[in-house]
Structure 1
Amino acid sequence: MRVEAFICINEKAQCEELREYMLELGAPIARTASDNYIIDLQQIISVCDIVFKVEKENEIEMVLNSIVSVLLQVGANQPEAPALLASFCDQLIKAPTPKTASTAFRVLQNLFNGFIHTPHRYRIYLALIQLCELSGQVRLIYNHLPQFKKWFPVEEFGGEKIQFLLRLLHSILQTNKLPDMAAKVMVELLTTYTEENASQAREDAHKCIVSAIADPNTFLMDYLLTLKPVKFLEGEPIYELLTIFVTENLSAYVDFYKSHASYITDTLNLSHDANMQKMRLLTFMQMAEMKKELNFVDIQKELQLTSDQVEFFIIDVLKTKLVKAHIDQSNQKVIVSLTMHRTFGRTQWKQLHETLKQCSLNMSKIQDTLIQYMIAYNQSVH
Structure 2
Amino acid sequence: MTTVVPTSEEDPVLSVVRFTAEMSWADAGAETAEPEVNRLCVEAQKCMIEGRWLDLVSLMLASADIIFSKASEKDLECVFTIMCNLVKKPESLDQVHEMAELISAKIIQQPNDKPALRLKILFNLYNLLENPYSRFCVYLKSLKLATAGKVTEHILSSIKMMDNFLKEWNLGVKDQRELFLAISNILKESKGSTKDSFMFLTKYLETFSSEDASNMTEAKEEAASAIVDFVRSPDMFKCDLLDMPAIVQLEKDGQYGPVYQLLKIFLTQRLDAYLEFEAANSALLKTYGLVHDDCISKMRLMSLVDLGLNESSQIPYSVIKQALQIDDIEVESWVVKAITAKLLDCKIDQMNQVVIVSRCTERVFGVHQWQDLRTKLVTWRGNIAGVISTVQANKITEDSTQAVQGLAIR
TM bracket (short chain): 0.7 to 0.9
Distance 1:17 1:275 in 2: 64
Letter of the 1:186 counterpart = L
1:36 aligned to 37, 47, 53, which one? 47
Residue of structure 1 in register with 2:294 after alignment: 274
1:215 aligned to 222, 227, 233, which one? 233
Query: Which ranges of structure 2 fall in alignment gaps of 5 or more residues?
Result: 27-35
Q: Is the 8 A contact 2:132 2:168 kept in 1?
A: no
CA spacing shift, 1:307–1:333, aligned 2, 3 Å: same
Q: Is the 8 A contact 1:46 1:88 kept in 2?
A: no
For the residue of structure 2 that corresponds to 1:176, the secondary structure is coil
Query: Which ranges of structure 1 fall in alignment gaps of 5 or more residues?
Result: none
Letter of the 1:195 counterpart = A
1:14-42 CA-to-partner distances (Å, cap 9, x unmatched) read: 31232355468x45585331222444433
CA spacing shift, 1:83–1:153, aligned 2, 3 Å: same
CA spacing shift, 1:135–1:284, aligned 2, 3 Å: closer
Supply the RMSD in Å over aligned alpha carbons: 3.6
After TM superposition, list the pairs within 5 Å mapping 1:132-171 onto structure 2: 132-133=146-147, 134=151, 136=153, 137-141=155-159, 143-144=161-162, 147-148=165-166, 151=169, 153-154=171-172, 159=174, 162-171=176-185
1:224 aligned to 241, 250, 253, which one? 241
Deviation at 1:176, TM superposition (A): 1.6
For the residue of structure 2 that corresponds to 1:259, the secondary structure is helix
After TM superposition, list the pairs within 5 Å mapping 1:28-107 onto structure 2: 28=25, 31-32=37-38, 33=41, 34=43, 35-37=46-48, 38=53, 39-48=55-64, 50=67, 54=72, 61=77, 63-74=79-90, 77=93, 82=98, 85-91=101-107, 94=110, 101-107=115-121
CA spacing shift, 1:229–1:363, aligned 2, 3 Å: closer
Deviation at 1:341, TM superposition (A): 1.5
CA spacing shift, 1:116–1:308, aligned 2, 3 Å: farther
For the residue of structure 2 that corresponds to 1:233, the secondary structure is coil
Moved more, 358-367 or 277-286: 358-367
Letter of the 1:197 counterpart = N
Q: Is the 8 A contact 2:104 2:138 kept in 1?
A: no
CA spacing shift, 1:84–1:246, aligned 2, 3 Å: closer
After TM superposition, list the pairs within 5 Å mapping 1:1-382 onto structure 2: 5=6, 13-20=11-18, 22=20, 26=23, 28=25, 31-32=37-38, 33=41, 34=43, 35-37=46-48, 38=53, 39-48=55-64, 50=67, 54=72, 61=77, 63-74=79-90, 77=93, 82=98, 85-91=101-107, 94=110, 101-115=115-129, 117=131, 119-133=133-147, 134=151, 136=153, 137-141=155-159, 143-144=161-162, 147-148=165-166, 151=169, 153-154=171-172, 159=174, 162-177=176-191, 178-193=193-208, 194-221=212-239, 223-235=240-252, 236-265=257-286, 267-289=287-309, 290-368=311-389
Deviation at 1:200, TM superposition (A): 3.2
Query: Percent identical across equivalent pairs?
Result: 23
Letter of the 1:85 counterpart = E
Q: Is the 8 A contact 2:271 2:323 kept in 1?
A: yes
Residue of structure 1 in register with 2:33 after alignment: none
Moved more, 254-263 or 29-38: 29-38
1:230-270 CA-to-partner distances (Å, cap 9, x unmatched) read: 222223212211211121111000001011111111x2221
For the residue of structure 1 that corresponds to 2:213, the secondary structure is coil
CA spacing shift, 1:332–1:5, aligned 2, 3 Å: farther
CA spacing shift, 1:373–1:31, aligned 2, 3 Å: farther
Moved more, 43-52 or 244-253: 43-52
Deviation at 1:165, TM superposition (A): 3.9
Residue of structure 1 in register with 2:30 after alignment: none
Deviation at 1:117, TM superposition (A): 2.5
TM-score (norm 2): 0.75
Distance 1:166 1:240 in 2: 26
Distance 1:141 1:3 in 2: 34
For the residue of structure 1 that corresponds to 2:355, the secondary structure is strand
For the residue of structure 2 that corresponds to 1:182, the secondary structure is helix
Moved more, 76-85 or 12-21: 76-85
Q: Is the 8 A contact 1:129 1:141 kept in 2?
A: no
Distance 1:262 1:337 in 2: 40
Q: Is the 8 A contact 2:232 2:290 kept in 1?
A: yes
Moved more, 178-187 or 104-113: 104-113
CA spacing shift, 1:78–1:332, aligned 2, 3 Å: closer
Q: Is the 8 A contact 1:300 1:310 kept in 2?
A: yes
For the residue of structure 1 that corresponds to 2:242, the secondary structure is helix
Q: Is the 8 A contact 1:93 1:127 kept in 2?
A: no
Deviation at 1:300, TM superposition (A): 1.7
CA spacing shift, 1:300–1:142, aligned 2, 3 Å: same
Moved more, 367-376 or 245-254: 367-376
Q: Is the 8 A contact 1:15 1:41 kept in 2?
A: no
CA spacing shift, 1:84–1:287, aligned 2, 3 Å: closer
Moved more, 172-181 or 145-154: 145-154
Distance 1:146 1:185 in 2: 15
Computing the radius of gyration from Cα coordinates, the structure with the larger value is 2
Distance 1:354 1:224 in 2: 24
